[in-house]
Structure 1
Amino acid sequence: MGKLHQVADGVWVRQSEWVWSNSIAVRGEDGLILIDPGIDGSELDQLADAVDQLGIPVVAGFSTHPHWDHLLWHSRFGDVPRYATPACARVAGGARERAQAMAAESASGIPLELVALVTPLPADGGPVPGEIIEHQAHAVGHAAILLADHGVLLAGDMLSDVLIPLFDFRQDDQVGAYETALDRLDEAARHVDVVVPGHGAVAEGPQVAARLAADHAYIDALRRGEEPVDARLGPHADWLSGIHRSNLEQARGR
């Protein structure tokens, strides 16, 4: 944790101690795009140091979805456009005060005045390279980014080795939303060797298929009304038990 690691040509990842959150830097045509930078103030400052050492200017930011830990920024990254899907930007703008409060409660030193200042990504993608894969699993306007030229899929809060699928209880039929999203990520994964989740370890080679299989198996079990057999659940992860029970209840229509 802590260092900026290159996972592919033009793609770097720094992992936070907070829920294994991944900050991502991608080299575009005009400079760096920072994706989901975080988490606490000191980590954001360390990320800025690491970005400075790359010697590539930051030209934009991108938030994969409208949860507070994916809506952060630091003044050292620069006063540049920060993008999200139009749906994500709409939700983030409407929930900005809540995101600021959650950030203040969850981590120290976060520049609260910069939380959730995102704008809709232009239809042509603007400076953000690759293909945006938008879906509604986990959050409204959730985006993965397929960097086929780099062989990398940035999965947002999907395909984690530590977190089970986390349902958005403001939306109906998250089982169906996850099935649709995972089918789209299946197709995207055909073009990559590396997957970077929002939380957890980077997946490489055969690990990519294993991550997809794990999320599919979890969702398939819920679709059948069964208890999933999932290595991410158990005594070592008691903190996920409540989330899992809530997922089960939504899947069963309670």
Structure 2
Amino acid sequence: MSALREVAPDVLVATHAYCTTTTTVLLGPGSECLVVDPAVLPGEIDAVAAELDERGVRVGLGFSTHPHWDHLLWRSSLGHARRLATRAATDAVRAHLPTVRAEARTSVPEVDTTALGDVEALPRGARTLPAPWRHVQVLEHRAHAPGHAALLVPDRRTLMAGDMLSDVEVPLLDLTADDPVGDYHAALDLLAAAAADVDVVVPGHGGVGDGRELRRRIDHDRRYLQELLGSQPSADPRLERGPDWLRAEHAAAVRWVRDHR
């Protein structure tokens, strides 16, 4: 059974059982591809690599959307291409690598952390990826994690959103930031500005959506943030049907807002 399905021309997505994590592959016009945020379990990553090999496709570039452990994984089965992240994300990984590695192993004991820190920084403020076979825009912001970036592929009208715009997770704030809610609003504004040119959105966790779904998710996330700032109980269905850890993250955000009034 294929791990990858085409969600737009040259855009392949695998959705994995662990935390509904997605792996996104952007095919080039030749035999190279970009791999964004490979999956978590070793078997999941190897399955994607095997299918790419069967298709005759070589990984020419990797990208991590942000510096959380589950978006930094890699396996030798994918090859040894350059792996990139924003400068801020790379700095965060290098500053906290032992902690990031420990979090990974605590969360998933069988995780392969061999290449966890092997990410290379884009030039600060870079607006595109160095992938000559495909134009990919980098939309960097500060929501969820330092140096978080979404990737926009204009000629495929596809947005790879990282850990935002999920149908299964509410906005997860970086509570170490000075203004986590403001950062998240600014990121939603950035992504909303791109939404008119997007037909497919791929979140880091959850289901792929179309352009209408993208706009709906932006609206839902803004509503969640408004309820959070207003100290209103959230009626977001993602909390009701989500796992305990998601509700714990929400409770932490509620406490942050209460303590910083």
TM-score category of the 2 structures, normalised to the smaller one: over 0.9
User: Is the 1:217–1:228 contact (alpha carbons within 8 Å) kept by the matching residues of 2?
Assistant: no
Q: Secondary structure at the match of 1:252?
A: helix
TM-superposed CA distance for 1:162, in Å, is: 0.5
- Normalised TM-score (structure 1): 0.94
Tell me: CA distance 1:103–1:129, structure 2 relative to 1, closer, same or farther (3 Å).
Answer: farther
Residue 180, structure 1, aligned to residue 186, structure 2:
yes
TM-superposed CA distance for 1:80, in Å, is: 1.3
User: Is the 2:40–2:73 contact (alpha carbons within 8 Å) kept by the matching residues of 1?
Assistant: yes
Alignment RMSD:
1.8
User: Is the 2:27–2:34 contact (alpha carbons within 8 Å) kept by the matching residues of 1?
Assistant: yes
Aligned to 1:126: 130
Matched letter for residue 42 of structure 1: G
Tell me: CA distance 1:235–1:41, structure 2 relative to 1, closer, same or farther (3 Å).
Answer: closer
Partners of 2:113 and 2:203 in 1: how far apart? Answer: 24
Residue 110, structure 1, aligned to residue 116, structure 2:
no
Residue 66, structure 1, aligned to residue 84, structure 2:
no
Matched letter for residue 137 of structure 2: E
Deviates more, 1:207-216 or 1:78-87: 207-216
| Ranges of 4+ aligned residues in structure 1 off by more than 4 Å | none
User: Is the 1:93–1:117 contact (alpha carbons within 8 Å) kept by the matching residues of 2?
Assistant: no
User: Is the 1:173–1:251 contact (alpha carbons within 8 Å) kept by the matching residues of 2?
Assistant: no
Aligned to 2:195: 189
Task: Give unpaired runs (5+ residues) of structure 1.
Answer: none
User: Is the 1:93–1:118 contact (alpha carbons within 8 Å) kept by the matching residues of 2?
Assistant: no
TM-superposed CA distance for 1:247, in Å, is: 0.9
Aligned to 2:5: 5
User: Is the 2:6–2:13 contact (alpha carbons within 8 Å) kept by the matching residues of 1?
Assistant: yes
Residue 49, structure 1, aligned to residue 50, structure 2:
yes
Aligned to 2:97: 96
Matched letter for residue 36 of structure 1: D
Percent of aligned positions that are identical: 39
Aligned to 1:160: 166
Deviations 1:49-86 (A, max 9, x none): 12112212111110000000000001011111100000
Matched letter for residue 248 of structure 2: G
TM-superposed CA distance for 1:2, in Å, is: 7.0
TM-superposed CA distance for 1:221, in Å, is: 1.6
Matched length: 254
TM-superposed CA distance for 1:251, in Å, is: 2.3
Partners of 2:236 and 2:104 in 1: how far apart? Answer: 30
Q: Secondary structure at the match of 1:191?
A: coil
- Normalised TM-score (structure 2): 0.91
TM-superposed CA distance for 1:38, in Å, is: 1.4
Residue 26, structure 1, aligned to residue 17, structure 2:
no
User: Is the 2:168–2:242 contact (alpha carbons within 8 Å) kept by the matching residues of 1?
Assistant: no
Partners of 1:169 and 1:158 in 2: how far apart? Answer: 15
Tell me: CA distance 1:108–1:25, structure 2 relative to 1, closer, same or farther (3 Å).
Answer: farther
Matched letter for residue 198 of structure 1: G
TM-superposed CA distance for 1:129, in Å, is: 3.5
Q: Secondary structure at the match of 1:19?
A: helix
Deviations 1:187-213 (A, max 9, x none): 111101110000000012421221111
TM-superposed CA distance for 1:108, in Å, is: 4.7
User: Is the 2:167–2:217 contact (alpha carbons within 8 Å) kept by the matching residues of 1?
Assistant: yes
Aligned to 1:232: 238
Q: 2:223 aligns with which of 217, 223, 229?
A: 217
Q: Secondary structure at the match of 2:152?
A: strand
User: Is the 1:92–1:116 contact (alpha carbons within 8 Å) kept by the matching residues of 2?
Assistant: yes
Matched letter for residue 118 of structure 1: V
Deviations 1:219-254 (A, max 9, x none): 122233322221101265433221111111222334
Aligned to 2:17: 17
Q: Secondary structure at the match of 1:155?
A: strand
Partners of 1:136 and 1:223 in 2: how far apart? Answer: 18
